[in-house]
Amino acid sequence: MTVTIGVIGVGMIGQDHIRRLTHVLAGSRVVAVTDVDAVRTKEVADSLPVPARVHATGEELIADPDVQAVIVASWGPTHEEYVLASLWAGKPVFCEKPLATTEEACSRIIDAEVEAGRRLVQVGFMRRYDAAYRAMKRVVDSGDIGSPLMVHSRHRNPSVPEHYTREMAITDTAVHDFDTVRWLLGEELVSATVLTPRRSRHGGELQDPLLMLFETESGALVDVETSVNIRYGYDIRGEVVGEDGTVALADSAPVLVRRGGTVSGRVPEDWRERFLRAYDVELQEWVDAVAAGRGATGPSSWDGYAAAVVSDAAVEALRSGAKVPVTLRDKPDLYAKEAER
């Protein structure tokens, strides 16, 4: 069966997902697209081997009977309305992170999915599909390094677009680290503190970098660094320190060159390069799940909600300088027995 997909938002990641669905992955076809940028939408639609239908709005695309499943890749504040509309239409929806930009909006999505009675939403936390992160989780789960005591997470971007605000270092960037740590440790974060070192001269008005500290339910400590103007490349690092050992992501350079008394290796240019294969696996597993009649797999609305609540607490901690508690609503049964991916 070929899953027919409609894509809302054809910017950077929307186009990248369309490319992989069309030229790399199996079992799906992009049949419809929409974006508030009408010129870009038409260009993207016409570039496909079988040109996609262009819709004027996301709502119109979701209502299209030829669209079996929806990808939401528009700006974060627009996600809620499209995910809710997909749920009300009973269509599986893959939503890029963040699921939505506020706790309340994520909660409304959870309520609608619970009402639908089955999982239909998958959130684009692609690190869970990265081979290195998966290997790291296997080590943690095996117990070989003992109980996790600390996690160090480094999230470095060479630069960010002009519209990027200081809160986005938390809501748009570190939100990946929040999900990764929850998934790696299998527990929730319960408090947030944010420290602000001297600003990088490359960040303009941005408070960059940030150093965040979180406590987990079991009492482990997590520190997350965001540096979003680091210039030298896109660098993602992680380490779990356990009672009996540690596990860390290895350097992501495919080869190291030794020459003239130095060792050097490539640092990825951006998220597309660093997580290329992770996005492939993520979307293929989603397509396969939809084709098999399962509405979703992997990161759920609950995961999107929990990451958003941590983001909200960290934003408050950034503004107040205080330690802020993270308080989650009760977890609906729908999400209780999720695949531990």
DSSP-based three-state secondary structure for 187: coil
Q: How many CB atoms lie within 10 A of CB 115?
A: 10
- Partner from ligand ISE, ligand NAD, none binding residue 154, C-beta < 5-8 Å depending on class: none
Of all residues in this chain, which one has the CB nearest to ligand ISE in the complex? Answer: 173
Q: Does 173 bind ligand ISE (CB under 6 A)?
A: yes
- Partner from ligand ISE, ligand NAD, none binding residue 173, C-beta < 5-8 Å depending on class: ligand ISE
Judged by CB under 6 A, which stretch of 5-13, 193-201, 305-313, 333-341 contacts ligand NAD? 5-13
Of all residues in this chain, which one has the CB nearest to ligand NAD in the complex? Answer: 11
Q: Does 11 bind ligand NAD (CB under 6 A)?
A: yes
What is the H or E stretch that residue 83 is in?
A: helix 79-88
Among 68, 122, 153, 157, binds ligand ISE (CB under 6 A): 157
Q: Does 46 bind ligand NAD (CB under 6 A)?
A: no
What is the H or E stretch that residue 22 is in?
A: helix 12-23
- Partner from ligand ISE, ligand NAD, none binding residue 145, C-beta < 5-8 Å depending on class: none
The alpha carbon dihedral of 126, 130, 133, 138 has a sign of positive
- Partner from ligand ISE, ligand NAD, none binding residue 115, C-beta < 5-8 Å depending on class: none
- Beta carbons within 8 Å of 54's beta carbon, 6+ residues apart: 32, 33, 34, 38, 41, 42, 45
User: Shortest gap between Cβ of 271 and ligand ISE (angstroms)?
Assistant: 4
Closer to ligand ISE by CB, 91 or 274: give it.
274
Block residue for tokens 């190291």: 256
- Partner from ligand ISE, ligand NAD, none binding residue 157, C-beta < 5-8 Å depending on class: ligand ISE
Residue type, 50: V
Rounded distance between C-alpha atoms, residue 31 and residue 6, angstroms? 6
User: 31 burial class (0-12, 13-18, 19+ CB within 10 angstroms)?
Assistant: buried
Q: Does 126 bind ligand NAD (CB under 6 A)?
A: yes
How many helices (H) and strands (E) the chain has is answered by 11, 15
User: Shortest gap between Cβ of 32 and ligand NAD (angstroms)?
Assistant: 12
Residue type, 239: E
- Beta carbons within 8 Å of 44's beta carbon, 6+ residues apart: 10, 14, 15, 18, 33, 35, 52
Q: Does 76 bind ligand NAD (CB under 6 A)?
A: yes
Q: CA nearest 154: which of 255, 43, 230, 93?
A: 230
- Partner from ligand ISE, ligand NAD, none binding residue 12, C-beta < 5-8 Å depending on class: ligand NAD
Q: Does 176 bind ligand ISE (CB under 6 A)?
A: yes
DSSP assignment of 288-322: HHHHTT----SS-HHHHHHHHHHHHHHHHHHHH-S
Query: What angle, 0 to 180 degrees and rounded to 10, lies between the N-to-C axes of helices 301-320 and 103-116?
Result: 170
Q: Does 311 bind ligand ISE (CB under 6 A)?
A: no
Judged by CB under 6 A, which stretch of 140-148, 171-179, 286-294, 301-309 contacts ligand ISE? 171-179
Q: Does 125 bind ligand ISE (CB under 6 A)?
A: no
Tell me which residues touch ligand ISE (CB under 6 A). 157, 172-173, 176, 271
Tell me which residues touch ligand NAD (CB under 6 A). 8-14, 34-37, 40, 58, 73-76, 78, 96-97, 124, 126, 172, 271
